Structure 1
């Protein structure tokens, strides 16, 4: 439950902004990208009552159009599954795992978008990652709640673009938290069992409705 709350907070962070139009040149920087995506997502939420009401199809369309193009979803899924399991997975297994992961994230977006009120984001410094060369961290805080919530975005340059590949919410790396949930299932039962379990969770939650 606590991990789901952390994820919802991170998704709210990606959906909030200062409401300032950003020049294309600004968006080429890591913090500019986070600000631009936040602005576009927040504007879309405010303009669409169906999204505010949790319509998963409308949310999926928004995620596909505004968010996933800026996320290295392959890297995020690989990290959550573990490199060894990912390297041994078939193309079909990889595709099915990503499909279920995506549906799960859309369900979390639905919960997160319902929380958007008057919160804003404060942006801190962009720093180099101490662990991975070429990786930078965009430091942010959600303000407008009882206590500021620190959220850090990890980005890497992929070709000519910066892409988000992980998030840190209140000191917890979300990719790592998924890895800790998924890897025991993969080790004990295999990749197909993990995919089936995620599919069942999504079905039970009505994520495809």
Structure 2
């Protein structure tokens, strides 16, 4: 299985875990590695139990993300990091469009790969962090056929409403997702500007939607 394919279905696993954050109080008190352990275990069961998710039904996946993922991920930070310095130059309207198109890109790209995670297991490594840390990396291995695959999460501790750990980046086999998109987006911004990047993302989403 090549890196691109791995990135697709492993990121679906990441995004799907947010469906299981049903107890905010528990999430606020839970250690970052304990959170990932619980979610990784539960999400595999959830995927196996849902025929529509297992077959990569786009409508089901998008509804799932809209209802459950956004409250538990710092998607604004993910988008801002992926866009890079140009994010600060964008208007609020442009920032919203970038975030919306980036979310749609990820969801539609990875929706068709959900079925591939059903036969996997997840091993969470011991957390190397102190209780005072505000940002941590939780390292895991995905085991199935072939060699184990590295899947690491970057999380930040938040306060106030919805306090707890929020995921804002993903590392697959040594490659961080946000940084990968940053290099692609920078080329678009340099040649076409911010509106050009938005248009490119929108066009890509239309193509993905036409493919189902």
TM-score, L = length of structure 2: 0.83
CA distance in 2, matches of 1:205, 1:116: 21
**Larger deviation: 105-114 or 171-180?**
105-114
**1:136 is the counterpart of 2:143:** no
CA contact (8 A) 2:154 2:169 kept: yes
- Alpha-carbon contact 1:40-1:66 (below 8 Å) kept: no
Cα distance between partner residues in 2 of 1:3 and 1:64: 24
Residues 1:11 and 1:24: Cα distance change in structure 2 (over 3 Å): same
Matched, 1:80 2:82: yes
Post-superposition offset of 1:207:
6.6
C-alpha deviation, 1:126, in angstroms: 1.4
Q: CA deviation at 1:201?
A: 0.9
Inter-CA distance 29–64: structure 2 relative to 1 (3 Å threshold): farther
TM-superposed CA distance for 1:4, in Å, is: 5.3
Matched, 1:99 2:100: yes
TM-score (norm 1): 0.84
| Structure 2 SS opposite 1:167 | strand
Question: Partners in 2 of 1:207 and 1:136 — Cα distance?
Answer: 38
* Distance of 1:27 and 1:115 partners within structure 2: 32
Structure 1 vs Structure 2 CA RMSD: 2.7
1:48 aligns with 2:50: yes
**Does the alignment pair 1:147 with 2:147?**
yes
Which structure 1 residue ranges, 4+ long, deviate > 4 Å from structure 2? 13-16
**What CA distance in whole angstroms lies between the structure 1 residues aligned with 2:64 and 2:41?**
13
Contact 1:186 1:193 in 2 (8 A): yes
Cα deviation per residue 1:73-118 (whole Å; 9 max; x = unaligned)? 0110000000x21111111111111111111111233133121222
Residues 119-149 of structure 1 deviation map (CA, whole Å, 9 limit, x = unaligned) = 10001021249xxx63211010000120100
- Gapped regions of structure 2 (runs ≥ 5): 18-22
Q: State the SS of the aligned residue for 2:113.
A: helix
- 1:4-54 Cα shifts (integer Å, max 9, x gaps): 5324223336658xxxxx993796211122233334433432332222222
1:115 is paired with a residue whose SS is helix
Residues 51 and 58, structure 1, Cα contact 8 Å, conserved in 2: yes
Separation in 2, partners of 1:166, 1:119: 21
Aligned equivalents of 1:128, 1:167: Cα separation in 2: 18
Residue 34 of structure 1, aligned match among 33, 36, 52: 36
Q: SS at 2:156's partner residue?
A: strand
Aligned partners of 1:36 and 1:28: how far apart in 2? Answer: 10
Whole-Å Cα distance in 1 between the matches of residues 128 and 3 of structure 2?
Answer: 28
The CA distance in 1 between the partners of 2:14 and 2:145, in whole Å, is 12
